[in-house]
């Protein structure tokens, strides 16, 4: 009984990022992101049965695969539906992915397949992490509270859900800096700098591969500082084109309005908008990245207002201004198209009149000889 009390006390005192290491493999993720738990299975056997469980006070099965019955069961309605529409399972490897994760998903996950493997996921909310936005190709420095870090001998920077060590300061015995930029396929190679006095981490020539969660941990493996870096790419400039298909009908040989289309390659987290001066006219955003963003606009040929098409995300934008005089030219092809149609109609009418005239003459000539 006393031993059990000591274990419970120890569990309560371990509050760092690896505080639950003895429970399972630690992982960290930012709220709203996705995380994949790898089952380390090359290929599921034909007769294999595996189960993924979430342990919160007691174990709850959330996914089960029965290869013999060729059946996958997803129980995403457990615990008030917190997993609803968030679970994805790889039926070949058994890997479990949780999408759009929230702090409610912090906890212990277990896979059973004869033997069991455990994962402890810590989900950080936006209020717990300092958000940093940076443009691709730029540099960024993560600043640490120097008064806080002076109390520790070892300081280490980690990146991503696996707590991958990328840099550290070891004050004892030689006060040296360690850079591990060959991890994760070398994405940090020659890009990391650490300030020995302050512990600040600088990442140069940053790319979208460096988007993610960064933690500064001490020698007790407690997280001292948390940063989430979002790397943005330069947005493409929208293209404005004239809709040449607007050919006037024969009853209306002229067009008073000009039909335009603004289009651009779709990207994650962007919206395309038409503005009249500073006033928003219309806007569109599509989650499907395979669909090209397109937004129409109709203006008068003689309109003197200022129009612009804008592609933007939370960090930057690209603007294309509309030149009505240059783009909104009456389509000569359409005019000639309509002229041709009118000529054909006149020709047909003339032919019919001619046929009728000939018929009348023949009738008069026959009448005279009868």
Q: How far is residue 51 from each of residues 34, 64, 112, 319, measured CA to CA in Å? A: 20, 4, 5, 51
Identify whether residues 146 and 217 lie together within a single domain: yes
Quick one: average pLDDT of 17-31? 73
* Range with top average pLDDT, 134-138, 308-312, 360-364: 308-312
313 pLDDT band, cuts 50/70/90, is: confident
Taking only the tens place, the pLDDT of each residue in 39-70 is 887 677 777 888 999 998 889 999 999 988 88
Residue 350 above 70 pLDDT? no
Token pair 């759009």: residue: 100
Token representation of residue 29: 């993720």
Q: Contact, 296 vs 261, CB < 8 A?
A: yes
Residue 208 above 60 pLDDT? yes
Interacting residues of 16 by C-beta distance below 8 A, sequence separation 6+: 217, 220, 221, 222, 223
| Count of domains forming the chain | 3
Q: Is residue 250 part of a domain?
A: yes
- Higher-pLDDT residue of 344, 276: 276
Token pair 């003459």: residue: 361
- Higher-pLDDT residue of 66, 342: 66
Identify whether residues 101 and 49 lie together within a single domain: yes
19 pLDDT band, cuts 50/70/90, is: low
- Higher-pLDDT residue of 367, 161: 161
The domain boundary, picked from 188, 211, 232, lies at: 232
Identify whether residues 101 and 133 lie together within a single domain: no
Q: Is residue 318 part of a domain?
A: yes
Q: Is residue 7 part of a domain?
A: no
Q: Is residue 61 part of a domain?
A: yes
> What confidence score (pLDDT) does residue 361 get?
44
Identify whether residues 85 and 106 lie together within a single domain: yes
Token pair 């419970």: residue: 8
The domain boundary, picked from 125, 145, 173, lies at: 125
Taking only the tens place, the pLDDT of each residue in 270-301 is 899 999 999 999 999 987 777 889 999 999 98
- Among the listed residues 221, 269, 192, 179, the one whose alpha carbon sits nearest the alpha carbon of residue 22: 221
The domain boundary, picked from 90, 125, 160, lies at: 125
Q: Is residue 59 part of a domain?
A: yes
Is the bond preceding 276 in cis, omega lying within 30 degrees of 0? no
Residue 321 above 90 pLDDT? yes
Residue 214 above 60 pLDDT? yes
8 pLDDT band, cuts 50/70/90, is: very low
Identify whether residues 146 and 62 lie together within a single domain: no
14 pLDDT band, cuts 50/70/90, is: very low
Judged on CB neighbours under 10 Å (0-12, 13-18, 19+), 307 is buried
Q: Is residue 279 part of a domain?
A: yes
Structural domain range at position 119: 16-125
- Higher-pLDDT residue of 351, 101: 101
- Give the CATH number for residue 142: 2.60.40.10
Identify whether residues 75 and 119 lie together within a single domain: yes
> What confidence score (pLDDT) does residue 320 get?
95
Identify whether residues 119 and 166 lie together within a single domain: no
Identify whether residues 25 and 97 lie together within a single domain: yes
Token representation of residue 360: 């009348």
> What confidence score (pLDDT) does residue 278 get?
94
Q: Cα 53 from chain centroid?
A: 28
> What confidence score (pLDDT) does residue 18 get?
53
Q: Is residue 196 part of a domain?
A: yes
Q: What percent of the chain has pLDDT over 90?
A: 46
Element housing 130 (H / E): strand 130-135
Identify whether residues 40 and 98 lie together within a single domain: yes
Identify whether residues 211 and 250 lie together within a single domain: no
d(CA 335, CA 329): 12
Q: Is residue 86 part of a domain?
A: yes
- Among the listed residues 167, 25, 171, 206, the one whose alpha carbon sits nearest the alpha carbon of residue 108: 25
């Amino acid at each position: 009984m006393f031993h059990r009390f000591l274990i419970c006390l120890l569990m309560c005192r371990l509050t760092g990022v690896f505080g639950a290491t003895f429970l399972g493999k630690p992982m960290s993720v930012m709220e709203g992101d996705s995380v994949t738990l790898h089952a380390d299975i090359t290929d599921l056997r034909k007769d294999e049965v595996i189960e993924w469980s979430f342990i919160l006070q007691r174990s709850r099965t959330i996914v089960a695969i029965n290869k013999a019955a060729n059946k996958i069961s997803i129980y995403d309605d457990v615990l008030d539906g917190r997993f609803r529409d968030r679970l994805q399972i790889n039926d070949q490897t058994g890997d479990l992915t949780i999408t759009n994760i929230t702090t409610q998903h912090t906890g212990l996950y277990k896979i059973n397949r004869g033997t069991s493997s455990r994962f402890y996921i810590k989900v950080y909310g936006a209020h717990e992490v300092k958000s940093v936005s940076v443009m691709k190709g730029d540099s960024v420095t993560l600043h640490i509270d120097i008064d806080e870090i002076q109390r520790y001998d070892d300081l280490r920077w980690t990146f991503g859900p696996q707590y991958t060590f990328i840099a550290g300061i070891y004050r004892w015995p030689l006060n040296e800096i360690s850079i591990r930029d060959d991890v994760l396929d070398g994405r940090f190679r020659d890009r990391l700098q650490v300030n020995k006095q302050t512990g600040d981490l600088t990442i140069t020539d940053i790319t979208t591969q460096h988007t993610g969660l960064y933690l500064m941990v001490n020698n007790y493996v407690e997280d001292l500082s948390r940063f989430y870096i979002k790397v943005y790419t330069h947005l493409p400039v929208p293209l404005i084109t004239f809709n040449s298909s607007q050919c006037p009908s024969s009853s209306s040989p002229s067009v008073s309005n000009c039909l335009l289309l603004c289009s651009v390659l779709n990207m994650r987290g962007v919206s395309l908008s038409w503005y009249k001066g500073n006033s928003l006219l219309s806007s569109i955003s599509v989650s499907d990245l395979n669909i090209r963003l397109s937004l129409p606009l109709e203006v008068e040929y003689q309109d003197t207002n200022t129009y612009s098409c804008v592609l933007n995300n939370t960090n930057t934008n690209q603007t294309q201004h509309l030149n009505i005089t240059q783009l909104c030219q009456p389509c000569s092809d359409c005019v000639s198209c309509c002229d041709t149609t009118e000529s054909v109609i006149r020709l047909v009418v003339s032919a019919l009149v001619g046929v009728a005239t000939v018929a009348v003459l023949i009738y008069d000539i026959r009448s005279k000889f009868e």
